Amino acid sequence: MRFIAVCLFALVALSSVYADDIEKMKCLGQIPKPCGDGSDSACLTAYNTDGNCVNRDCAAKLIDLNDYATCIKKCKSNNDKVQKWIDANISCVGSGLLSFAALMIALFAFMF
């Protein structure tokens, strides 16, 4: 009986992680570009250089959100607007990792 309960709990945990991944992808898609109308040339320059870390280097790892989260945490910018945009990307993927860890801890605590 306990085994069945653990299996059901694991199934619920895995399905919520999948739904969480969809929410993270929606969150990433809703982040506006950092330079607004494009009139701030310093922001555009920083976005074209520092933004490549997120847009090009880390986007190749977007299939696995854990790898993507690890990658974008290394991205930095000296421009405040671009750094806030990078931080917003980190916030989208970082919150789900915490909830997944909490689910796994609860699962193991329930099992043992």
Cβ pair 82, 51 in contact under 8 A: yes
Burial of 86 (0-12, 13-18, 19+ CB in 10 A): buried
Q: What is the DSSP string of 93-109?
A: HHHHHHHHHHHHHHHHH
pTM above 0.75, yes or no: no
User: What pLDDT tens digit does each residue of the chain (112 aa) get?
Assistant: 556 655 555 555 555 445 567 788 888 889 998 998 888 999 999 999 988 888 888 887 767 777 888 888 999 999 999 999 999 988 888 765 455 555 555 555 555 5
Domain residue ranges in the chain: 2-111
